[in-house]
Every structure is written in structure tokens, then in C-alpha cells.
Amino acid sequence: MHRWFALAGLGLTLALVTTTDARDKPKDNTAPTGFTALFNGKDLTNWQGLVTINKKMKMSKDEYAAAVKKANEKLDHWTVKDGVLIYDGKKGGQNLQTVKDYGNFELLVDWKIPPKGDSGIYLRGQPQVQIWDSSVLSGGLAIDKDTGSGGLWNNPRGTNGQKPLLNADRPIGEWNTFHITVKGTDVTIFLNGKKVVDKAPLLNYWEKDKDKKPLPTPARGPIELQEHGNTLWFKNIYVKELPD
């Protein structure tokens, strides 16, 4: 009899713990305090087809509107299912970018890739915060093996931030979380709670001077999710704008 009461009490305790954990766990695609949800878990509101920042800077307002309209005709590779933004991995797709441009900001984003997966997050339209399965060197060199995600891949090799400080990736197929802060030209990146880039300069990859050196990074630009020919999953994409 005493054992029955003990088990009943244990069951009640477990039920309370489970209920509390479920209540305390943030709901997907619901922005934390101070942040705005860029993805609502239902559709592509706040997002559009790709018009690269270097082209946008040379366009009139009408030219840009026409380019966006044309780009939006190619968004069928991006879909939403069960609160997750999915790229199907098929040919003919393109990057997805925010409708709005951002200057200084904090960005939170959850992402997942398949084996041999490759992707990235573009900040102000500049490539890229690398996402990849570095165990297979998809596009990398031998020195990149097992370096992990989070580096500013298109910065010159050997510069601060081009490689992540450590490999903080979770096993392929599991969800990962970036916390990215952009202030001026500096970028700091945490991956799964571990710092992988510390105040590294985000260099302007698209525009270079006659000596092939990057020009100053644009003060504002879109946030982009890069497609790279494989299936991708994103959710919990939140932004907090910071003072310029």
C-alpha cells in the first residue's frame, strides 16, 4: 500500500515536471522579447526572391521592383511544412532574402542540413556565414576538413573569422542554432552556444577595387538564406535591429 502511494506520488511529480517543461519551452517561430520573427511558420511573408546587393545598388527604384517581381516567380522550391521553412534541393532554385534591408542587428536562426549538405547565411547581402558538412569537404580544401560551420567563408584565407574558432556543429541531421551579431563591419557568431567568430570584419565580397581588394561593406542589406543544391531546413528566424 505504501509502495502504491509512493508510485502515485512519483507519477504526479513526473506529470508536473513534464507539464512545466512543456509550458516553459518556447514555441517555434515565436520571437523572444526584443526580437521580431522574420519567419512566421506559415508562409514566405517577409521574404522575396534574390536580387543581389551589388545589382540593387545600381538600380533605380522601378528597376529594383521589376527585378524583385521576376525573382519572385522562382520561389516554388521554397515551401513551409509543420512550421519549418524547406528548400527542396532541386535545380533551378535561388537564395531567399528578406524584403527589408538591415544595418546593425542580432540574428537568431535554427538550421539543419543533410549529409554532404551546404548552405550559408548572407549578412547585408554579403556571403557568407558558412553552413556545411565539413567532414566531406564539399567545396573546401584539405585544411578545411572538420572545421565546422560559422566561418566567414568568403573572407580572404588567413584573416580573422574566415575559419571558425572551433567546430560546434551538432551531428548532421540535428538542429543547430546561430546567434549572429553585426555591428559596423564586425561580426560575432555563436553556434550552439559556443563562440566561433569573434568580432571579425565582414568584407565586401561582391565589389572589389582594381587590386582585387574588397571595398567597404554596405551599411545596409538583406539577410539571405543560401541554397546550394541540397535540401535545407530553417525555423526560429528572429532579428533585433541595433542602433547604427
Q: At 14, is the secondary structure helix, strand, or coil?
A: helix
Give the bridge partners for 195, in sequence order.
190
Reading the block at residue 29, the C-alpha cell is: 517561430
User: Could you report the per-residue pLDDT of 36-73, keeping only the tens digit for each?
Assistant: 999 999 999 999 999 999 899 899 999 999 999 999 99
Residue with cell 532574402: 97
Which CATH code for domain 32-242? 2.60.120.560
pLDDT of residue 91: 86
* Residue 27 neighbours by CB distance under 10 Å: 8
Residue with cell 521554397: 78
How far apart (Å, rounded) are the C-alpha atoms in residues 7 and 155? 60
User: Could you report the per-residue pLDDT of 88-109, keeping only the tens digit for each?
Assistant: 999 888 999 999 999 999 999 9
Interval 141-151 mean pLDDT: 90
Name the nearest CA neighbour of 89 among 228, 210, 209: 228
* 20, 121, 129, 144, 202 from 180: Cα distances, Å: 30, 10, 9, 22, 12
Name the nearest CA neighbour of 230 among 167, 152, 139: 139
Residue with cell 567563408: 153
User: Could you report the per-residue pLDDT of 179-231, keeping only the tens digit for each?
Assistant: 999 999 999 999 999 999 999 998 877 777 777 777 778 899 999 999 999 99
Reading the block at residue 95, the C-alpha cell is: 537564395
Q: Where are the domains positioned within the chain?
A: 32-242
One-letter amino acid of 2: H
Q: What's the pTM value of the predicted model, to 2 decimals?
A: 0.87
